[in-house]
A and B are shown apart, each in its own frame.
Chain A
Amino acid sequence: MKNTILLIITILLFVGYATYQHLDKPKTAYVELQKVFDGFEMTKEMSVDIEKVQKVREMQLDTIGVRIEMFKRMLNTQYNPALVDSIKRKEYEYYLKKQSYDDDMATLTTTYNDKIWKQLNQYISDYGRENKFDYLHGAAGNGSIMYADSSHNVTNEVIAYVNDKYSGK
């Protein structure tokens, strides 16, 4: 009888200690940031917006390019100093516009990315809080996390969560 009680107490102590150890462990997981970024609906929408702007600008540049080409063909048939001037002016215009568009596009992409990350940071932190994580690591492939067991990967759950939040449901 005594032995049985002792055994039960030992088991209880062991279970209690194991539970304490388990509860005391911080709850952690990691997300693959690039995957979350690419799977985020806002990123997809912004990419479409950027593409639209890019297409309009390409068309504007193409118009200047076609005119330059036309002038060059005219010059091939008959030399005209005024035409040479026009070609030079148009080529300069093309160069300036292209440079300005490229700079603009870089700024636009950075601005969009900033806005996307602002929302992502908020939603991922909401996800961590709601799911009672102590740490949620971001694996960006830059050495911030060198190894983690894939069972701790919550990327897909996070993508679903951030898209739900973004859609404002």
Chain B
Amino acid sequence: MKLLLTLMISIVANKFTQRYSTAILAILSLLILGCGQSALSPQEYVRWVDSDNSGLVKYKELNGFKITSKLIPSEYIAIKETYAEHKEFNQETYNKKLKEVSGQYNIYIQLAPLSGNKSALRKDLASADDYYYRVEYFNFLSESDVHLIAGNDTLQCALSNFENNYEITPFNNWQLVFEKPTQPLKSDLKFVWDDQALGLGRIRFNYNIEDINNIPTITF
């Protein structure tokens, strides 16, 4: 809806050639984009979270790897799980799922080599042992190397799930769950991973409080 309005305003702005009308209309469109949260349908919501505009998807290219970090709202998971169960949207299931997953911060990491078709687990291996170490690391050891900084709280990872897809895709997904502190978030959310397997060092991703507060609501 916001985008439509902005588009309409831009079209109108193009038709007016006066100096001030364009400036006023540009300010108006900025105000519409900047003010408050919008409401989206479940499908639109999922698309919005996945888009770069949401500010919830961050990228980093390091040492031949592309690391994508996505902060996933609980609503997103509840929608996805509802669709997985019913193949269509069902509000009762959605509410149930949302209750289960609210109270968590979910970070989805995707590790992909920048070139070649090998997965992150097999990229630049020095030996077979390296591969087994990486598998062991992401499955069992990595949990203690990731944390989320929410204000004064450093949250330890509560659940880590690494998908070893055995080279079906040239990337690996890694899902991390952190328990939300009781007090509301007042500053940026900082994700930190001290990599011990791919030689990347400390990886940080910062989620702006403004982006988190501007996550749209869902209309049914």
Contact = CB atoms under 8 A, between A and B. Distances in A.
B199 interface: yes
A148 to B, nearest CB: 29
Contacts of A165: 60
A50 to B, nearest CB: 13
Contacts of A119: 62, 200-201
Give the dominant DSSP class at A's interface: helix
Interface of B: 58, 60-63, 69, 190-191, 199-206, 208
A78 to B, nearest CB: 49
A168 B206 contact: yes
Contacts, number: 40
A169 interface: yes
Which of A46, A112, A116, A167 neighbours the largest number of chain B CB atoms within 10 Å of its CB?
A167
A17 interface: no
Interface residues on A, range: 10 to 19
Given A45-B202, A118-B199, A168 B63 contact: no
A122 B62 contact: yes
A126 B206 CA distance: 19
B203 A115 contact: no
B153 to A, nearest CB: 18
A115 B201 contact: yes
